[in-house]
Amino acid sequence: MTLPGIESFLIGECRAFGVPVGTVWDGWVVAAGDPEPLLSRAGTLRAIVDVAWTGPADAVPARLPTAERLWCENQWINEGRRASAAFAAASCAAGGAEIVAAPDGPPAMVCIVDRSGRALIGRAVAWGLERRRPYRVALMARSLNPAMARAMAMASRARAGDVFLDPFCGSGTVLAERALLGPCRLVGLDIEAGAVDAAGRTLSGFVLDGSRAGRAGTAGGAVGDDASGALQVELRVADARALPLPEGSVTAAATNPPFGHRMGRAADNADLYPRALREVVRALRPRGRVVVLTGDRRHLRRAVQACGSALRQRSEARVWLGGLEPILGVYDRTEAALP
C-alpha cells in the first residue's frame, strides 16, 4: 500500500528490490514473492496486506476470514457515496467486527475502496511503515507524509552530488527523504524561524551511509558531516520569493508550498507562487528538475506559464493526501532564459 497517485514509485522500488509486480490500482500494488526486502528499504511503502479478496464492494462473498477489528477507508474524498455500501459489505465479511476509523495500531483486517467502488479485504501484515522514520523527532502541524516526500525526492531524479533545494522546507521531511537516497548537499529555506529550527532537529544526527551529519546550522553556514563528506546541510531563514542563492547553483528542487487551504491563504498564492517558482528556476542549472506538490492547481499552473520556455512540464499527477487531492508536478529546467 502507498498513497494513491504515487503507485509508480512503489512499483519502481518493488522491481529494484526483486519483488514481482502484478495488478496495480488506487494506492495498491498487488505483488507476489517475499515482501521482506521492501520493509526496510522501500520509502513509499505504507503497509503490506495479505489479500483475502478483491472485487466490487457490493459483492463481497459471505465467507471471508473474520477479525475482531476492521479498518475501512475510502481512498478518494470525492467518492464518499461509495463508502457506505463498502462498509456494510466489509462488516458482514468480518463477522460483525468493530469498525474503527483510525486505528492506533495495526488493524487485524482492512477494507480499502478505490474510486471505481472496488474493494480490497485482507489481513494486515505490516502497517504504518511511513510513520516509523527515526528522523521524525520534530514534527510540525501539517508535516508532510514521508511516503509522499520520498516520491518527491525520487521524482527529482536524485543523483550523487546533487545540490538539492527545498525553499519551503518546514520540518525538513523532504530534505530527510532526499538524504536517504544518497550523498548530496541539502539546502533548506523557510520564512519561519521555528520551521528552520525543526528542520535542524530533523537532520541533526542524521545517519547516511554510516556517517553522521554534524549540526544543522540555522545561520546560513554549510555544515558538513564527519570525514566522509557524504552529507552537507545548509538551513536558513529566507523568503522563497527572494532566494539567497546564486543563479544556477542548484541541481534539483522539491517543495510543498502552502496550499492556501489548511495553511496560508489562496489569495496570497497569486503573488507567492509565480515569484517563488521563478526564483527556483533562476537558481536551477539547465537540465535541473523541480518537483512541486500543491492543492492550488490554478496558481501553480499560472506560475509555470509565467516561466515561459525556461520550464518544461514533464508530468502532472493527482494524488490523495490526508483528505486532500493535490497535484504532483514535475518540471525540467531548459536552456532558455527566463522571460
SS3 of the chain: the string is CCCCCCHHHHHHHHHHCCCCEEEEECCEEEECCCCHHHHHHCCCCCCEEEEEEEEEHHHCCCCCCCCCEEEEEECCHHHHHHHHHHHHHHHHHCCCCEEECCCCCCCCEEEEECCCCEEEEEEEEECCHHHHCCCCCCCCCCCCCHHHHHHHHHHCCCCCCEEEEECCCCCCHHHHHHHCCCCEEEEEEECCHHHHHHHHHHHCCCEECCEEECCCCCECCCEEECCCCCEEEEEEECCCCCCCCCCCCEEEEEECCCCCCCCCCHHHHHHHHHHHHHHHHHHEEEEEEEEEEECCHHHHHHHHHHCHHHEEEEEEEECCECCECCEEEEEEECCCCCC
pTM above 0.75, yes or no: yes
Residue-by-residue pLDDT tens, the chain, 339 positions: 999 899 999 999 999 999 999 888 888 898 888 888 898 889 999 999 888 888 887 776 665 554 444 555 544 333 434 444 555 555 555 555 555 555 555 666 777 777 677 777 788 888 889 988 989 988 887 789 999 999 999 999 999 999 999 999 999 999 999 999 998 999 999 999 999 999 999 998 664 433 334 333 333 333 333 334 568 999 999 999 999 999 999 999 999 999 866 566 677 899 999 999 999 999 999 999 999 999 999 999 999 999 999 999 999 999 988 778 899 999 999 999 999
Domain assignment present for 339:
no
167 and 310 fall within a common domain? yes
Residues 164 and 239 in one domain: yes
Determine, yes or no, domain membership for 289. Answer: yes
Q: Write the pLDDT tens digit of every residue in 183-224.
A: 899 999 999 999 999 999 999 866 443 333 433 333 333 333
User: Does 298 share its domain with 183?
Assistant: yes
Query: What CATH number did the domain enclosing 88 receive?
Result: 3.30.2130
Amino acid at 67: A
- Residue 24 in any domain: the answer is yes
**Inside any domain, residue 91:** yes
Q: For CA atoms 208, 214, 216, 221, give the dihedral sign.
A: negative
Asked whether residue 172 falls in the same domain as residue 298, the answer is yes
Q: Answer yes or no: do 202 and 270 share one domain.
A: yes
| pLDDT digit string, tens, across residues 10-51 | 999 999 999 999 888 888 898 888 888 898 889 999 999 888
Q: What is the CA radius of gyration of the chain?
A: 21
d(CA 303, CA 273): 6
Tell me how many domains the chain contains. 2
pLDDT of residue 226: 33
Q: What is the largest CA-CA distance in the chain?
A: 64
Residue 195 is placed in which grid cell? 520551521
Is the domain of 113 the same as that of 161?
no
Q: Flag whether 195 is in a domain.
A: yes
Q: Say what the pLDDT of residue 223 is.
A: 32
What pLDDT is recorded for position 144?
A: 94
What does the alpha-carbon distance between residue 173 and residue 164 come to, in Å, rounded to a whole number? 13
Rounded distance, CA 248 to CA 265, Å? 30
Q: What is the pLDDT of residue 146?
A: 96
Cell readout for 314 is 514533464
Co-location of 111 and 209 in the same domain: no
Query: Domain of 274: which CATH number?
Result: 3.40.50.150
Examine the domain organization and report whether 172 and 313 are in the same domain: yes
Q: Tell me: do 266 and 226 sit in the same domain.
A: yes
Structural domain for 38, as ranges: 7-130
Same-domain status, 193 and 327: yes
Q: What confidence score (pLDDT) does residue 81 get?
A: 40
pLDDT of residue 236: 95
Of 99, 130, 161, the one marking the end of a domain is 130
Q: Kindly state whether residue 135 falls inside one of the protein's structural domains.
A: no
125 with 167, same domain: the answer is no
- 13 found inside a domain: yes
Is 138 inside any structural domain? no
Per-residue model confidence (pLDDT) at position 89: 54
Do residue 167 and residue 214 come from a single domain?
yes
